[in-house]
Structure 1
Amino acid sequence: MNRKVNYQEKIDLTLEELKTLLSQQKSLINRQKIQTLYWLKTGYSQSVTDVALRLGVHRTTVHRWLKQYSEEGLKKLLEIRLRPGRPRVIPPEVIRGIEHKLNQETTGFKSYKEIEKWVEENYQISLKYQTLHHQVRYRLQAKLKTPRRSSIKKNPLEETEFKKNSKIS
Structure 2
Amino acid sequence: MKTSELKEHEYNPYYRAYIEALGEVDLMKTLRKQIKNYPQFLASIPEDKLNYQYAEGKWTVAEVLLHVLDSERVFQYRALRFARKDQTPLPGFDQDLYVPQSGAGNRGLDSIIEEYKAIRQSTITLYESFEEDILKRKGVASNSNMSVAALGFIICGHQRHHRNILRERYLQD
Q: Do the structures match in fold with TM over 0.5?
A: no
Bigger CA radius of gyration: 1
- Of structures 1 and 2, the one scoring higher in RCO (CA 8 A, sep 6+) is 2
Interval of TM-score (by shorter of Structure 1 and Structure 2):
under 0.3
- Bigger strand fraction: 2
TM norm structure 1: 0.25
